[in-house]
Amino acid sequence: MNLQASKSDHGLVLRLPEEFVRRHGLQDGAKLQAEISKDGALTLKPAGWDRAAFAAELDASRTALPASRAALESLRSGV
């Protein structure tokens, strides 16, 4: 896969193809861990799971949806 590097305020940004992003479930702000081998190969993988961030997201979603049939349907449909 060929990636395009673009200039940003603090260096270069690599653009990931939309198909790759979709296939791997990445979203804006996703954290990835990058490793560069001795031969210059770049490996990207998801960063470790952040329990505190997950708990905060869960609490926020709990308060955002009232306990009702409509809320259940919303969760099931992914809306």
Would you say 15 and 3 are in contact if contact means Cβ atoms under 8 Å apart?
yes
Spatial separation of the C-alpha atoms in residues 56 and 34, rounded to whole Å: 26
- Please give the pLDDT value at position 8: 92
pLDDT band for 79, please (50, 70, 90 cuts).
Answer: low
Q: How many residues are given for the chain?
A: 79
Residue-range domain boundaries for the chain: 1-48, 49-79
Spatial separation of the C-alpha atoms in residues 15 and 4, rounded to whole Å: 6
Spatial separation of the C-alpha atoms in residues 79 and 74, rounded to whole Å: 5
| Residue 35, C-beta contacts closer than 8 angstroms, at least 6 positions apart | 42, 43, 45
* pLDDT tens digits along 49-77: 778 888 888 888 877 767 788 878 888 88
* pLDDT tens digits along 13-55: 999 889 988 888 889 988 888 999 999 999 988 887 778 888 8
- Please give the pLDDT value at position 39: 95
Q: Which fold has domain 1-48?
A: Pemi-like Protein 1; Chain: D (2.10.260)
User: In terms of Cα–Cα distance, which of 26, 29, 19, 18 is closest to 45?
Assistant: 26
pTM of the model: 0.47
